């Protein structure tokens, strides 16, 4: 039963956040950000474990692989833009990776994580 509720909740929250984003096109209201935040809040308030939640939403999670592969078509279609802005794209990716590594280390030290745990993502 929790699995079905999880699935329905996930889909409903995602569509609701799409409507919110279309109404107020603010970057922090992106459905990928707000839907995750709302679902985590929902799981915390209802005391549903992630394992129980995933039992119903597993097929959505499994579809992420093929959906990622489907991005190859637009990438091929707009490859001329990728070539044109390649330097900016690579610089942005490198800057983002650098910031992610530094912020992970600093935040890990702030909450007194052991060095082994801080270095796991690297």
Q: What is the 3-state secondary structure (H, E, C) of the chain?
A: CHHHHHHHHHHHHHHHHHHHHHHCCCHHHCHHHHHHHHHHHHHHHHCCCHHHHHHHHHHHHHCHHHHHHHCHHHHHHCHHHHHHCHHHHHHHHHHHHHHHHHHHHHHHHHCCCCHHHHCCCC
The whole-number pLDDT of residue 73 equals: 84
Per-residue pLDDT of the chain (122 residues; tens, 9 = 90+): 777 888 888 899 999 999 999 999 888 889 988 999 999 999 899 898 888 888 877 887 788 788 888 888 888 889 999 999 999 999 999 999 999 888 888 888 888 888 777 676 55
The whole-number pLDDT of residue 71 equals: 82
Is the pTM higher than 0.75? The answer reads: no
């Amino acid at each position: 039963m929790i699995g079905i509720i999880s699935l329905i909740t996930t889909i409903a929250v995602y569509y609701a956040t799409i409507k919110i984003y279309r109404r107020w096109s603010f970057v922090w209201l992106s459905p990928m950000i707000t839907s995750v935040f709302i679902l985590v809040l929902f799981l915390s308030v209802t005391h549903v474990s992630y394992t129980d939640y995933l039992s119903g939403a597993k097929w959505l999670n499994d579809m992420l692989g093929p959906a990622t592969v489907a991005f190859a078509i637009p990438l091929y279609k707009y490859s001329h833009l990728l070539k044109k802005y390649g330097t900016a794209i690579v610089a942005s990716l490198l800057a983002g990776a650098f910031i992610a590594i530094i912020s992970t280390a600093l935040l890990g030290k702030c909450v007194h994580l052991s060095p082994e745990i801080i270095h796991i993502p690297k």
